[in-house]
Structure formats: C-alpha cells, structure tokens
Structure 1
C-alpha cells in the first residue's frame, strides 16, 4: 500500500522514454508514480486509486490531451500539469483555459519540474466535486449573491449546496478578489497575492482565469455581476460580500 504521506502522481504520455524518465526522476524524489500511455490506462488508474496530481502530455498519438484533461477536471480536482513539445503560447493559454493548473514545455528541466509539482501539491486540497457539501458553521466563508465560498474547506457552492469545481488558480484568484470587494487589482497584484498563481507567470494568465471564473459563477459571463473589468487598470469584485 502507498504510505499515507507519499503522494501519487500519474504520468500520461505516449512516449515510453519520457514516461520512464519521469517515473525514475519523480520516484527518486519520494513520489509514488503511475504511468499511462493513453486515456484508457489513465482512467483505469484514476478509478482504482487516489491520484494527487496528473502530468498530461498535450499531444497524444490517438487522443487530444486537452480533451482528456477537461474530462478529468469535470470529475476530479487534483492539480493537472500539461506537458508539450510545442512553443506556441496559444497552446499554453488554451491548456490553462480548459483545465490545467500549470504548464511546461519539452524539453524541460527536471529540477524545475519537480519544484513546480511540489508547489502544486503543497497548495492542493482534494475534495470530491460531485458530493453535496454542508458548510460547517466553524468554517470561514464569504457569501455573495447565491454563492458561498468556503475558505476553510476551499470549496465553492451555490445556495442549493451544489459544488462548483475550481482549479487551484481559480480558487486562489477568486479568494483574493472576494476578500477585497470593490478594490481594483492589477494583474501583477493578483499574481503576487494569489497562492494558486505562483507557477503561472506568462502574460494573459490572469485574463484566462478570470474568463474561466466568469463562466462558472456569472449568470451571463459577457455582462458579469461580480468580477468586473476596470479598463486600463485591472479587475475588481463588485460587492456586497458577507463574511461568516
């Protein structure tokens, strides 16, 4: 059995050499590493045991890694790191917009990769996104509109108790904004204050995460009620926000 303190990583890549390299390197860092060459093997691992983080190749031979990552995100909340050999920033933005929490290019530096994995795991809290969660009265919560942001359990749910799955970056960004209603933040300030953005440092990251959040919490993302844009300056969260 896996030791309670040992995190399990799942490497999804159709290149056997890459899988072997990652398995060897990450195992030496104390991780329990599983591997899959396609979606079928990936789902078998995810359904058989608890996986703490998924490393997903963006370009698989027979499948689209982005679609697989999006499917994983719909059912699980563990961090997802995308890996790819292409350098187009559009791919990076698209990967983050769909599902990923971080992104690295091949060939990658193993030291940097393991550091990013460690950072993602340190911030992650796995909670089944499909179960109805009853807010504990002892939890610190922020309430706005029909939403409850549980800061203690790091969950977002509507007034009926239905959970909304947020990535680490999305939750951290929403927390910063909701804690300071009506305060305008620049993109740089949001990156600096949001724990979930430590490894997402390229341009437009904040814009992508704002877009994702609006799709999840706004009735009409094109005319947002909560997350507003201050042209030329940044973003702010329109109150009121009630703490409880």
Structure 2
C-alpha cells in the first residue's frame, strides 16, 4: 500500500519502502493532487501550479506527459482522469494531512486528556515545514501558509488542553519558545501569561505582557487584544 506525506518533505512509501520522485515537477504535480485527495483538480489549476508563470506552449499535453510519468511511478489506479482534470484516489489512512485533519477533528469534541493525546499524535505527523521540495511559487504562496496555520492552531489547542490538565509549569519553556518564534500570535502570549500566573510567577507573567505589548506596538501599531488585557488584569488582581 502506498503512503504519502506532505507535512514536511514530500515523500512516498510503498509498503514502508521509499519511492523516489526525483523530478521537481513530478513532486509538484503529486503535491497538487495530494492537497485535494479524492477531488478533481482542474487541468488549468494543475498547469498553473506546476509551471507557474513559465507556462509550456502545449500545457495540456505537457501535463498529460507528467501524469503518465507519475502513473508509471505509482501505478495506474491511484491517479484518475476525471471530467476537467485529475484526482488521486486515497483512503483516509494513506495521507498524513488526512490523518492530521481527522485527529484534530476528533480532538475538538474530546475532554482535555484525550484532546491532548490526539493533538500530540496529530502534531507528531509533521516532519518539518509543509511541502518541502516542491518548487512551486503558487503552492508555496497559497498552501504553505494555510497548512502552517492549521499546525499552529493545533498547537494552541493542545496547549489549552494541557493547561486544563494543570501542566502549567511544564508548558512555560515551550511557550517562551513559541512566543519567540511567533511574536505576533497573541494566543501564545496569552497562554504563556496564564501558565506563568498559575505557576506563581507573577513578575515573569507581567514581563511577558510587556514584551507582547511592545512587539505588537512596534510591528503592527496595535495594543494588546482583549484576551491579553484580561489576563493582565487577572495577574494584577492576584497580587
């Protein structure tokens, strides 16, 4: 059985054995199909995503050639010709993005312990930034930020679950790192302040608020949002 990964470098495995997809445009075509599994991706969309601004003179014929080469690597049954385009037929377990989506959906309806476990499993599917090795400006511009937002939202959800479970002190180092990596993401600052406050580290929580306020002002010209202000008030009231 084939398994596919796009949450990191694009990879293909057949019964656990790596299947090399060495040509950059083949990887791009595969990624474009994997981003919409079991759905038709229009021919015009695939041509744009594979070739970008450097469209071949005979785009449809060039795409057909690459589809043929991809079928040679993966077999005839996975990639299907559909009215107006192509699709890749996959089960729910064959693609890391599908498994990630299923786990995060299940987690949203679960209690904190199960939610933390499911989200940890979902995040473990990531092997690095999405779509590594896919030199498509179109996909890098449109899809990579979308996928990264899904990952960061899952991180936030997992931290919320761990906060509900009382793991405040354990979360502080991770949250300091996350606020350094994503200083404009207010949710991480809020979670850091909450973890510090509940760990009895009031001075550090106030320092975190000042850092958040400074970076938001300098980078965006904005004051902290309602969540941060409420957390700041809670810290002051706890003094």
Q: Please give the range of the TM-score, normalised by the shorter of the 2 chains.
A: 0.3 to 0.5
Give the TM-score taking structure 1 as reference length: 0.34
Structure showing greater relative contact order (alpha-carbon pairs closer than 8 Å, 6 or more residues apart): 2
TM-score when normalising by structure 2:
0.34
Q: Which one has the bigger helix percentage?
A: 2
